Amino acid sequence: MSDTEYNFEHDEERQTFGLKVKKDWVELEYRANREGKFFITNLEGPPELLDNGLGDKMLEHALHYIKDNDYRLIPSCKAIKDYLKKYPEYKELVATGIRVG
């Protein structure tokens, strides 16, 4: 996928980030709590988009949001766990006591 700028939509009430690509929709669901924990719970969209880099872009966007807002990540879905294995520099955002592969 190219270095295109993406306009992610953030719905704080539903706790989602989303992106429309032509007629398709990619969405990342999360739960954030008052204790500063941020749980990425689901990432879904057409496999051809997710597998061609858009899934990683969506996760990267969420991780920057976590960092900018002083949350601590609780990786709750396979997509974020796999991402953290590929990009260990983001493990510093993971909450204390949580192991990621």
Domains and CATH numbers, the chain: 9-93 (3.40.630.30)
Q: What are phi and psi of 100, to 5 degrees?
A: -125, 110
For residues 48-67, give the mean pLDDT. Answer: 94
CA distance 61 to 64: 5
The model's pLDDT over 9-49, given as tens digits with 9 standing for 90+, comes to 999 999 999 999 889 999 999 999 999 999 999 999 999 99
For residues 63-74, give the mean pLDDT. Answer: 97
Nearest to 71 by CA among 42, 98, 44: 98
For residues 52-78, give the mean pLDDT. Answer: 95
- Whole-number average pLDDT of the chain: 92
Backbone CA torsion sign across 90, 43, 66, 61: positive
Q: How confident is the model at residue 52, as a pLDDT?
A: 87
Q: What are phi and psi of 99, to 5 degrees?
A: -100, 140
**pLDDT surpasses 60 at 1:** no
